[in-house]
Structure 1
Amino acid sequence: MRSPFPGMNPYLESPALWSEVHSWLIVELARMLNLHITPKYRAAVEKRVYEQSILVGVPDISVTRQQTDAPVQPQTSTMTLTPPVLVELPELEATVERYLEIREVATGEVVTVIEILSPKNKLSGEGRNQYLSKRTKVLSSLSHLIEIDLLRRGEPLPIQYSGTSDYRILVSRVEQRPIAQLYPFNVRDLLPCLTIPLRAGDEEPVIDLNELMDIVYQSAALGLTIDYRQQPIPQLKQADFEWIQSMVGNEKLRIEN
């Protein structure tokens, strides 16, 4: 089953799906790139680890105080036992996040870094701070940066741009910094085709992100997990949700015919 939308499927941003979608996108993008850039270059799946605070589950044993039938003796001091309040303790758990590096095989040098943003990169907190630190290092290096933001929630990462859009892709070429190319687009739009920067003089592959998204959607059978009758998370504007219903209806008619 194909995705019923021409571009980004907003239901894939669901917290229940995004981690899986992110992994599929990274691996499939690496495969597509390696069809074009080998043997001089290789797209490698890399990872970084975040330590985030999670809550330990509420204990299933509690202590209560029972009353006894013994009469209270006058002029005898008694001790009152105050029951404790049960609390949850923070625990550190490592979270792995994957990204791509295009390396020159002969030297091992990182030519291009490709990031597909996750919620932790856009929501305030340690995850965003760590990513911004890594982003600054890449932008200060001799590596190109491609930053793919397919999430409507969260605060967009800092750039000098006054426009708004549901999604955006940033391409920062070393030789053009501090100027970068921005591809803003919305839920009804096609995803852009991206030219992947390499070393000067080398032929640069073009990746069709719509094809990438279709492959992931079908390979992971994501359509079986989505109820298109419900609003996605986060919710869309009513006009966009009604457009979604029309697109889903058209796809059903196409399949039936």
Structure 2
Amino acid sequence: MSKVNFKQVQWYAERAAYAYDSPEEIRKTFPTTTRVVTVPGTNVQYFIEDLPDKKAQLVSIRGTANMKNALEDAEYLQAKDKKLDIYVHAGFGEDSERVYRDLLPHLDKDKEILLTGHSLGAAISTILMMYLQEEGFQVGQSINFGQPKVTNEAGAALFKSLPLLRVIDENDVVPLLPPMSLLNSIHGRYKHFGTEMILLEGEFYVFQDEHVQQETKSTSFWSNMTDISVGAHMIKHYLHNIKSKLNHSKQIPFEDRKQYIDS
């Protein structure tokens, strides 16, 4: 993916943003929505949109705008997921399993399944991609925003072929969580998978494949502490930084990104 389609990225981001809205507003904005629900036992709302022109269904999952909760999640331990036979973040995994049980009866195996989400919604979206692949669904291009890490190195290696693009803001702390610690690394350190796009100021962005991520260690939490901005995690900030790249965008090397950080 040498050139990013920012109109496509915006299309996904708008749906990740609307997942925070009321069911009435979601159905009004996306008339082909077939289901909007807050899953019992969670604070997670999702909606399913039927896309006849794509022969697909899109699942958009609400995240959290509560940075305090996100930071508290940073030290959560990993737990073995019985469906996937890998270790995942315990809190994200529990919510994902509940969402999956609610979602599954409403999906069509004859259609491609696309997913998106922001923050916690992005974490759940990624775990759902893994569940759906194991269930035999056609998992299509999925894009999420501000996703924290959800699994360890072994889990990331197993699912690295999934068609996932993670969009992050250079100043956003959440994609760097959970940071390395003795408690949460018992089963191997947390690691992202999928391709990654880093949003910078104006027209500029960084695009990385998995190999580059490993070499540059862009997911290091502690080395990025000085650039953290709570506002940078908000979905409206993501939408703003995507919009600035619609007419013209320029990819820059990862090592040059500090020159283009939106402060």
Query: Given the two structures, how large is their TM-score scaled by the length of structure 1?
Result: 0.29
Query: Given the two structures, how large is their TM-score scaled by the length of structure 2?
Result: 0.28
Larger radius of gyration: 1
Higher relative CO (Cα under 8 Å, sequence separation at least 6) belongs to 1
